[in-house]
Amino acid sequence: MSVSVLPVRGTKDFLPQEMIVRDYVQNVILQTYQAHGFKHIQTPIMESIERLSKSEGGENLSLIFKILKRGEKLQLNQPNLTENDLVDSGLRYDLTMPLSRFFANNRMALPTPFKCIQIGQSFRAERPQKGRLREFYQCDVDILGDSSVASEIELIDTVTHTLLNLGFSGFTVRVNDRRLLTRQIEQAGFASADVPSVCMTFDKQDKIGAEGVRAELLEKGFKPDVVEAFMGSVMKDMSVLPNADDEVVQRLKQVIDVAQRLAGDKFQVVFDKSLVRGMGYYTGIVFEIHSAQYATALGGGGRYDNMIGQYCGEQVPAVGFSIGFERICDLLLEKGFTPPKVQKYTVLVYAPEDNLTDVFVKAAELRKQGYTVALCAKSKKLGKQLDVYAQEGYTSFISFADGTEKPLGKRD
C-alpha cells in the first residue's frame, strides 16, 4: 500500500524544535493576557453553515471548509443538487464570529464587561503560499460590553506588553477610526454606497501608489472632480489627525495620547489615515501593529459594535485584538530564537544488564530534583546517541552504573 505521507495541502507538521518555540510563544501570550485580567475561553472549531454563511467575514466566506452531512441527512439522489443540500457545518475562518455566538449563548454566566482570551485554530482554504497556512492559530483578546475608550487603550496596553515580553520592541501601533475615513470620503463627494469600493482602492496605496489609486478610481467610473477632491484631501497628510472637535476625533486623540505615554521609548503610537483593515464588521477605532524591522504586521484589531447584537438581539459594544501568532513564531524561528530554559536537562544512560526498576527509580529521583530526564538504552554507538541529545539541548548525562553527572559537549 502506497499512500502519500505529506500533510493535507496548505497544512503543516510541526517538529519538536518548532513546537518548543510555539509552546513558548503561546504561554507568554496566555500568561500576559491573563496577568491583565482577561479570561480564557474555548469554542468549537466547527460552526453551523448557516451562521458562517450569514456572518460578515467578507472574502473569507468563499474560503470556508465545509463539512458533509452524515447518515440519512445526506441525500445525493435529488434533482438540482446544490452545495447547501450537502453540508451542515464548516470550520471557522476566525475566532470573532464564534466569540459572538459564545457570548450570546452563555451571557447569563458572564460578567459585564467580559474580557476574554481565545487561542485556537482557524481555517481558510486560501491558495497555499509561504507563511500562509490553511490551518493556523489565532490568539485573540476581546472586551465585550464596554463602549468606553478605556477598552481600546486596555487592548493596546495588553498586546504591546505581550510583544515586549516576547522580545519585540521598536514596533509601531497605527491607529485610525473607520468613521473618520468614511466621513472624509463622503466629504470628497462620493456616495455612501461607494465608500467600501473607494476604501478597497485606498487600501492598495502601499502597492500601487497615489497615481495607481487615482487611475483605479477613474477606471471604476467615479467622476474626475470627485476623484481629484479625494486626492487633495483623503490622500494628503496621512499622519495628521484632523483638527476637529467631534467625538470621533477626540476619542482617537485620547487613545493615541495615552498609548504614546505608556509606550515611552519602547514603541511608537501614531495616527495613520491609510489604515483600513479588511473586515467589514469594524465600526470605529481600528489598530494594527507594524514592525519596520521585519516589514510585517504583528497583529491588529478594532471596535465592532454591531456584530454581537446579531446573535443576542440587543446591541453589545465590543473591541478585539488578534496577535499574529504564526508570523511571530516564524520570525522567532528564522532568527534562531531558543526560549530560556528553566529546567536542567540530563540523559540517564543504562545498559541491558542494569535493573530496570532501579533505573526508573533513579530517573524519578532526578525529576524530583528538577531535572528533565531522558532515558537512553546504551548501544554500541553511545557517542552518536549522546550527540543527538546534545543537539536537542540536553547538557549532561549520567551513567546509571556509576551515577556521576558529566557534561554533554555540543559536538555538531
Enumerate residues 214-273 that contact a second copy by CB under 8 A.
Answer: 254, 258, 261-262
Q: Which of residues 142-181 bind a second copy (CB under 8 A)?
A: 146, 148-150, 153-154, 157, 161
d(CA 173, CA 13): 32
* Closest-CA residue to 92 (of 58, 127, 63, 68): 63
Minimum Å gap between C-beta 214 and a second copy is 34
Minimum distance from residue 259 beta carbon to a second copy (Å): 9
Scanning 10-18, 201-209, 265-273, 396-404 for contacts with a second copy by CB under 8 A, the matching segment is: 10-18
Our finding on whether 16 is near a second copy (CB under 8 A) is: yes
Give the range of 195-203, 204-212, 286-294, 353-361 binding a second copy by CB under 8 A. Answer: 353-361
Report the SS3 class of residue 48: strand
**Minimum distance from residue 348 beta carbon to a second copy (Å):** 9
The answer to whether residue 3 forms part of the interface with a second copy (CB under 8 A) is yes
Which of 74, 200, 208, 210 lies at the binding interface for a second copy (CB under 8 A)?
A: 74
Under the binding rule (CB under 8 A), the answer on residue 312 touching a second copy is yes
Do the Cβ atoms of 274 and 263 come closer than 8 Å? no
Nearest to a second copy of 25, 226 (CB atom):
25
Residue 50 in contact with a second copy, rule: CB under 8 A: yes
Terminal Cα distance for the chain, rounded: 37
Closest CB 22 distance from a second copy, rounded Å:
7
Is residue 86 a contact point for a second copy (CB under 8 A)?
yes
Q: Which of 176, 147, 174 is nearest to 160 (CA)?
A: 174
Taking CB under 8 A as the criterion, the residue among 333, 374, 378, 382 binding a second copy is 374
- Secondary structure (3-state) at 137: strand
Selected from 129, 192, 243, 357, the binder of a second copy by CB under 8 A is 357
- Binding flag, residue 23, a second copy (CB under 8 A): yes
Segments in 174-239 forming alpha helices (H) = 178-187, 195-202, 205-219, 224-233
Cβ closer to a second copy: 65 or 230? 65
The conformation of residue 154, written as its DSSP 8-state character, comes to: H
What's the sign of the alpha-carbon dihedral 215, 220, 226, 231? negative
Which residues inside 380-399 make contact with a second copy, applying CB under 8 A? Answer: 388, 392
Residue choice 104, 199, 215, 270 for contact with a second copy (CB under 8 A): 104
Residue number, 122 or 201, with CB nearest to a second copy = 122
* Count of CB atoms situated within 10 Å of the CB of 303: 25
- DSSP three-state, residue 88: strand
Exactly one of 28, 56, 61, 67 binds a second copy (CB under 8 A); that residue is 67
Sheet with 296-303, side-by-side order of all strands: 114-123, 135-144, 318-323, 296-303, 285-291, 172-177, 268-271
Residue 202 sits in the site that holds a second copy (CB under 8 A): no
Closer of 190 and 311 to a second copy (Cβ): 311
**CA 107-109-113 angle, 5° bins:** 65
In angstroms, what is the minimal distance from the CB of 153 to a second copy? 6
Residue 119, classed as helix, strand or coil, is strand
Set of cell numbers at residue 296? 510585517
The position carrying cell 521598536 is 170
**Which residues pair with residue 66 across a beta bridge?**
90
Among 29, 47, 177, 399, binds a second copy (CB under 8 A): 47
Choose the binding region for a second copy from 182-190, 212-220, 317-325, 360-368 (rule: CB under 8 A): 360-368
Nearer to a second copy, 111 or 383 (CB): 111
5 vs 1, 132, 256, 367, CA distance in Å?
A: 12, 21, 50, 36
Our finding on whether 35 is near a second copy (CB under 8 A) is yes
Give yes or no for residue 338 binding a second copy (CB under 8 A): no
Q: Which of 183, 93, 194 is nearest to 138 (CA)?
A: 93
Q: Does 351 interact with a second copy (rule: CB under 8 A)?
A: no
Backbone φ/ψ region at 178: left (φ over 0), alpha (ψ -120 to 50), beta = alpha
Size of the site for a second copy (CB under 8 A): 98
